Copies of this chain bind each other. A is one copy, B any other.
C-alpha cells in the first residue's frame, strides 16, 4: 500500500488474501490503530482465528514505528480481542467476535473473485453426483461402512488406475495407489515418511503456494528453492544442492507461472533422482486441462519407482469433496501405510465409492471435457479482451489450466491489486507466490504480474469480472 495514505486509511493484507481496510482516525497513532483493529474484530471484518500481520510488516506498511504496533497488539491481547502465541504470531481470538458474527460471518465479500484455487463451483454436477451416490449406496458391500484399509477402497483404486493410465500416462496399479483427502493430506503423509527416512531437505520451486512450503517446514524439512524460467523449474540445479532427499514439482503446468517442464528438465530430474536415490513429488493439480493440444503425460510414467504422483478432484470437480490420490513407488507403500496409522481414518468410504461410480460410468470424463471447453473459451475471451483494452499487458504461460499470468509494467502490480480491491474485484499479484529463501540472500528477478483464475467466476459473473479486470489494467 502507498505510504502517502498513512494515518487516514490503509488496506492491510491479512491472512490468505483477505484485504482489510483500517481507518486510523482518533487522537493518537496507537489509540487510532487499537480502535481500528478492535472495530474490525467487533464488526466481523477480522474473523476469529485470523492471523494478524507481523508487527514489523504492519509497521512498515503503515509507515509507523514497530513499537506502536506491538503496544497496540498487546493492549488488544489484554482485552481478549487478540491472542498471542509464542513463536506463532498474533491471532484474532475466538472469543472476540459476538456470537452471531461468528456463526454468520459478516465479512464483506468482493463482487467478483478471480483468486486462484477453485474451479467454477456453480458447475458442480449435482445431479450426476447424486446418481453416483445412489448407485454406490445401493451396491456397497456391508464392510464399506466399517473401518477401512489404509490404501482406501479398492473399487476407487481400480477405477483410478484405468483413468490415470489413459488420461495422464501414469503407471498406476491399484496396489500402489493410496487414497487421501487431497494434496494437503498427501503431502502431509509424504513429509512424515520423508522424515522417517531421515530426509532433511526437500527442494521446491521458487514459485508456489506458501501453504505447502510451510507444511514441509513444519514437518522439520528445509526447502531450498529451484528457480523457475520459461522451461519450468531448473531441475539442473538439483545436482549442485547437497543432501536433497526429494523435490516438489508441478511439471505439467508450473504453479502459478503456467509453464511446462521442458523435456530436458524432465530428464534431468529423473536422472538426478536415480543417481541420488531421491524422490520426485509430482503435483499434477490441473493436468487434465490443456487447450492447445493433448496434455503432456505425467512425469511419473518415466520412472514409477522414483516419482510420487499426486492428483485430486479439487480442480476437476470440487475441492469440497476432499478426495485425492497418490501413486507411489512400491517401496513407499508400506511407509505411507504406517504414516496413515495402518487404517483409513480420513476418507469417507461412501464418497470413495461414489467417485468410483462417477469415474466408471463415464460421468467424470464428460464433466472434465465440458469444463475444458468452457475454460478454454474463457481463456480465449480473456486474451481477446486484454489485446483490445490493455495492449500493454502480456498473457504468458500455456493455454492450460484454470489460471493465466498477466505480465504488468514494472512497479504496477501492487497498485493494480489495490485498485481492483477497491472496485470489488479480488485478484492476486504474483508476488505472494514468490519464494525467497531467507537464508540464501538470493533475489529472484521480479516480474510484476497478476495470477488470474478465469475458471473461478460463475457463468453469470464472468462477463462482469472480465470487464472489471480490464478497467483496472494500467
Q: Range of interface residues on chain A? A: 35 or more
Task: From the candidates B51, B143, B341, B344, name the one contacting A121 in the complex (CB within 8 A).
Answer: B143
Interchain CA distance A257-B121 in the complex, whole Å: 48
Partner among B129, B138, B341 whose Cβ is within 8 Å of the Cβ of A126: B138
CB pair A347–B331 under 8 Å, yes or no, is: no
Please indicate the chain B residues that have their CB under 8 angstroms from the CB of A118 in the complex: 146-147
Contact of A319 among B117, B147, B182, B338 (CB under 8 A): B147
Measured in the bound complex, the distance between the Cα atoms of B102 and A142 in whole Å is: 20
For window 306-346 of A, CB contacts with B under 8 Å fall at: 318-323, 330-331, 333-335, 337-338, 341-346
The yes or no answer to A440 lying at the interface (CB within 8 A) is no
Chain A 105-144: CB-based contact to B (< 8 A → 1; otherwise 0): 0000000000001100110101001100110011010111
For A182, the closest partner residue in chain B by CB is B345
Complex alpha-carbon distance, A321 and B117, angstroms: 26
Across the interface, A175 reaches (CB within 8 A) one of B102, B335, B338, namely: B102
Q: Are B322 and A346 neighbours in the complex by a CB distance under 8 Å? A: yes
Q: Which residues of chain B are within 8 angstroms of A319 by Cβ–Cβ distance?
A: 145-147
Q: Is the CB of B334 within 8 A of A94?
A: yes
A442 proximal to B (CB < 8 A) = no
Whether A395 sits at the interface, judged by CB under 8 Å, is no
User: Which listed residue (B95, B124, B148, B150) contacts A49, Cβ 8 A?
Assistant: B150
Interface pair A142/B130, CB less than 8 Å apart: no
Cross-chain contact B175 with A103 (CB below 8 angstroms): yes
Give the segment of A6-14, A348-356, A359-367, A380-388 that binds chain B: A348-356
Inter-subunit contact B94/A330 (CB<8 Å): yes
A320 adjacent to B148 (CB under 8 Å): yes
Beta-carbon contact of B121 and A83 below 8 Å: no
Mask: chain A, 1-39; 1 = CB below 8 Å from B; 0 = not? 000000000000001100000000000000000000000
Distance from A97 Cβ to chain B, minimum over Cβ atoms (Å): 8
Complex contacts, A93 vs chain B, CB 8 Å: 334
Query: Quick one: copies of this chain in the complex?
Result: 2
Q: A196 interface residue, CB < 8 Å from B? A: yes
Of residues 157 through 188 on chain A, the ones whose CB sits less than 8 Å from some CB of chain B are 158, 173-176, 181-182, 184-185
Contact among B102, B147, B151, B345 with A185 in the assembled complex (CB-CB below 8 Å) = B345
> In whole angstroms, what is the CA distance A435 to B376 when docked?
60
Given pairs A122-B142, A147-B320, 20 additional interface contacts (CB within 8 A)? A48-B334, A83-B334, A85-B335, A88-B338, A94-B176, A95-B330, A99-B175, A118-B147, A124-B145, A126-B138, A129-B350, A130-B137, A144-B320, A181-B345, A184-B343, A184-B345, A211-B341, A215-B341, A320-B348, A322-B346
Please name 20 pairs of A and B residues whose Cβ atoms are closer than 8 Å in the assembled complex, sorted by A: A16-B342, A48-B333, A48-B334, A85-B335, A91-B334, A94-B175, A95-B331, A102-B174, A103-B158, A118-B146, A121-B142, A142-B458, A145-B318, A146-B318, A146-B319, A181-B346, A184-B345, A320-B349, A322-B348, A348-B351
Could you list which residues of chain A lie within 8 angstroms of chain B, going by C-beta atoms?
15-16, 48-49, 51, 83, 85, 88, 91, 93-95, 99, 102-104, 117-118, 121-122, 124, 126, 129-130, 133-134, 137-138, 140, 142-148, 150-151, 154, 158, 173-176, 181-182, 184-185, 196, 211, 215, 318-323, 330-331, 333-335, 337-338, 341-351, 458
